[in-house]
Structure 1
Amino acid sequence: MDIRDEVAALRASADRIDPRTMDQLWARLEPCRPVDLIGYRWRGFAFDTGHRTGSLLERARWYGKAFASESDVQPLLCRGDDGQLFSDVGTGHGEASLWEVLFRGEVTTTMVYDGMPVFDHFKKVDDDTVIGVMNGKGKLVFDGGEHFWFGLERDVAL
């Protein structure tokens, strides 16, 4: 089974995913560079590790993220009541930017939220799919000592 098959199996799993499984997968992925994300809107999905951020994003009707440039990132694209996408700057406390940050011994492309002490680090599954792990301070990020794990699939060019 290759890494894409593993990710597909984890997404399809009806069982709760052990965060250690995500840690092991992460260790085998190639770090993203900003150019891998910029210029596209990405559709998001959560890995069900039981982290409360998954249900928070579901209630917000999270769609994904948009990366126009390193300094112009919409981290919380959500669906409004009218079905249209909008950047939920209230829930996200602003928008975000991309940086290259050392995380777990590797430099990864990292999305830094403007208004919260939160970082989303990214690694590539392939050219159209990335895995993200939310890192930072506070209960939004750490739920029982665990990170929130999610993925993004390339959607459309901006």
Structure 2
Amino acid sequence: MENIEVLNAILRDGTTQSEAFSLFDKLDIVEPEEMLGMWKGEEIATGHPLEGLLTASGWYGKEFIDAEHVHPLIFKKSDGVLYTISPSFLPINLLLQSLQNIPKKILSPSMTILRPILHTSKSAARLRKVNYRGKVTSAMIYDNKGIIDVFRKVDANTLLGIMDIKDQSSDKTFFFILRKA
């Protein structure tokens, strides 16, 4: 089965952390220049505590302007308009600890209420190459968070990403995909 077919099956059915890493490890590296532009994101179900949070809150994806300017969190309003938020205001570790107790149905209305506080036009990450699991590939490094998103190429328009969170309370990795918008 080709990588894109495996990915589509994983997106449809979910998978284990081990199987997701198996696919990730088989994929080719991606160069920073290949990542420029707008990308639409989708979470992969592998059992990570953050699963469903981004989708429920209206996450659209990421925008890579150049190596020094990246918008890691782009959201979509109900009218279809995209906007960027600052990850600096998001308490990732608190969310990891309490997400099971937060009803996902309140996340989208909460984002609407918090949009004026969270909205930013400034970039909040940079694009660099890192060595991760034996391959040097592109990674998005958050400016003010202990988070690195590492990417591998499924095909020219699809990336598989992992979120490497420093000091997270979970032993699991958050997996997602990006498709060229």
Q: Residues 149 and 164 of structure 2 are in contact (CA less than 8 Å); yes or no, is this contact kept in structure 1?
A: yes
Contact (CA 8 Å) 2:47, 2:172: kept in 1 or not?
no
Query: Any stretches of 5+ residues in structure 2 without a counterpart?
Result: 93-117
1:19 to 17, 20, 28: 17
Which range is displaced more, 1-10 or 81-90?
Answer: 81-90
Q: Which of these residues, 18, 25, 30, is aligned with residue 28 of structure 2?
A: 30
Matched, 1:10 2:10: yes
Are positions 1:95 and 2:124 aligned together? yes
User: Matched residues in 2 for 1:152 and 1:49: separation?
Assistant: 16
- Partners of 1:112 and 1:41 lie apart in 2 by 17
Counterpart-to-counterpart distance in 1, 2:58 and 2:142: 19
* DSSP-derived class of the 1:146 partner: coil
Q: TM-score, normalised by structure 1?
A: 0.87
Which letter does structure 1 place at the counterpart of 2:4? Answer: R
Instruction: Give the structure with the larger helix fraction.
Output: 2
CA distance in 2, matches of 1:70, 1:53: 27
The percentage of counterpart residues that share the same residue type is: 30
1:119 is aligned to 2:119: no
Secondary structure of the residue that 1:97 maps to in structure 2?
strand
CA distance in 2, matches of 1:101, 1:136: 15
Instruction: Measure the CA separation in 2 of the matches of 1:100 and 1:2.
Output: 26
Distance 2:78 2:6 in 1: 34
Alignment partner of 1:129 out of 138, 158, 173: 158
Shift of 1:82: 4.3
Supply the RMSD in Å over aligned alpha carbons. Answer: 1.7
> Equivalents in 2 of 1:57, 1:88: separation in Å?
12
1:51 has 2:48 as partner: yes
Maintained 8 Å contact 2:128/2:138 = yes
Alignment match, 1:86: 83
Larger radius of gyration: 2
